[in-house]
Structure 1
Amino acid sequence: MSRPILVSACLLGLLTRYDGQTKCNQKVLDFLKAQGLVPIPVCPEQLAGLSTPRPATFFSKGDGRDLLDGKGTVVNRVGDEMNAPFLRGAAEVLKIARISGATLALFKERSPSCGVHQVYLEETIIAGQGVTSALLQRNGLSLCSEDDI
């Protein structure tokens, strides 16, 4: 029996990235097929109502776990604080996980929403999680990134 898995839509070839591009990853597609997993494409930023393309976004303080705890900040390149939409997008992805029965997620590393092990703090890559990854992990989902497969 196949199992549902949430997957960053950009990794599946959908044009959802902030720059309107894709990060289609053949290794991800092959992994999903080999494991008999049914991908459920999600883009937390689009689910939050943000446009594509949109200004690049990064953490100016902390990471996704810190943001969930009220201690982190996400901003975009033009200086707008983006905490509320990133929290909204994460909540929508959690709803999709519950609706679909997905207990796994395969997300785009270094994304401020989806990063599993790393995110950008300003222009520096740091150990940390994106907002959606942090929320899903707190709610019992298992996470991996394209770097893990």
Structure 2
Amino acid sequence: MYLISACLAGQPVRYDSKSYHYEQIQRLIQQGKVITACPELLGGLSYPRLPAEIQNGNGADVLNGTAQVIDAVGQDVSQAFIQGAYRTLELAQLHHIQTVVLKENSPSCGRHWIYDGSFNAQKIKGMGVTATLLLQHGFQVISENQFLELLALTED
């Protein structure tokens, strides 16, 4: 069983109300092998919403209180991101998830890359809040790019 970011499963829950469509993920959903979650919605944010980025650190820093998730008008939305991360963790534990597939670059879900907090489309190596929390609790967390590569290998 996989837990996959809802936006990767075709649900329009991104900050801009857009989503992504991947046939491979849709097939897994149809086979009943996927539950979806959007940590930002689970944390109480709506869509559309203002874009947000981590400032002064990464997901681990947000969790320990030394960095913040700030939206495009300067509002601190860290608590919503932290709450969403913990609710996603509860779902993963409840459903005995093996692998979590999260959206790269997101302040919640980024696995290898996040935006640098300047709102200038600059990426830095780092993880989002949810990705960090799930890894800290022993879950395998991968990006959609890694997941699609793995699926391609098993389809051959």
Same fold (TM over 0.5): yes
C-alpha distance in 1 between matches for 2:23 and 2:123: 24
Where do 1:1-149 residues align within 5 Å?
4-29=1-26, 32=28, 38-122=33-117, 123=120, 124-148=122-146, 149=149
C-alpha distance in 2 between matches for 1:26 and 1:125: 27
**For each residue in 1:97-144, what CA deviation from the matched residue of structure 2 results, as whole angstroms up to 9, or x when unmatched?**
111111310010000001111000123200100100000000000011
Question: TM-score, structure 2 length as denominator?
Answer: 0.86
More strand per residue: 1
Structure 2 stretches of 5 or more lacking a match? 150-156
Question: TM-score, structure 1 length as denominator?
Answer: 0.89
C-alpha distance in 1 between matches for 2:3 and 2:61: 23
The alignment partner of 1:119 has SS state of strand
* Aligned-pair Cα RMSD in Å: 1.6
Measured after TM superposition, the shift of residue 26 of structure 1 is 3.2
**For each residue in 1:21-58, what CA deviation from the matched residue of structure 2 results, as whole angstroms up to 9, or x when unmatched?**
1122335446x47xx77111100001111111000010
Number of aligned residue pairs: 143
